[in-house]
Amino acid sequence: MLLLVLCNGSREGGGFRINPNALPDDGVFHYSGISKVSRPMMFRLLPEVMKGTHGRFPQVRMGEFHNLELKSNKPLYIHTDGEILTGFDSDLCQLSLEILPGEIEVSV
């Protein structure tokens, strides 16, 4: 896996439409994963991710989940909302994630 993004909204990283189906209030997490691809394919996918049309490529997997347990034989490099949570010196190889719908109330 080259990239795995777990999201509760459709955009990240300055406007990338990483998962166009994700809504912040739909009660599920969404994911977008891109398998290891060649450098030319990476450049081909980049504008598609910007537009949110990358899901049509066989190297891309998209879906949704409520609970996730991720285990890796190599350290995980994790960003949360653009901030580095674990960096290149990390030894974190396992992550558990669960969505709790309706647990936070936001008033405008």
CATH number at residue 47: 2.60.200.40
- Looking at residue 42, what is its pLDDT? 93
Specify if 84 maps to a domain. Answer: yes
Residue type, 32: S
Q: Write out the residue range of the structural domain in which residue 83 sits.
A: 3-98
- Looking at residue 54, what is its pLDDT? 95
d(CA 82, CA 80): 5
Q: Predicted confidence band at 87 (pLDDT cuts at 50, 70, 90)?
A: confident
Q: What is the mean pLDDT of residues 70-97?
A: 89
Specify if 106 maps to a domain. Answer: no
Specify if 78 maps to a domain. Answer: yes
Q: How many domains does the chain have?
A: 1
Specify if 104 maps to a domain. Answer: no
Specify if 22 maps to a domain. Answer: yes
d(CA 2, CA 66): 23
- Looking at residue 104, what is its pLDDT? 81
User: What is the average pLDDT value for the chain, to the nearest integer?
Assistant: 91
Specify if 103 maps to a domain. Answer: no
Burial track 46-77 (b if 16+ CB lie within 10 A, e otherwise): eeebbebebeebebbebeeeeeeeeeeeeebe
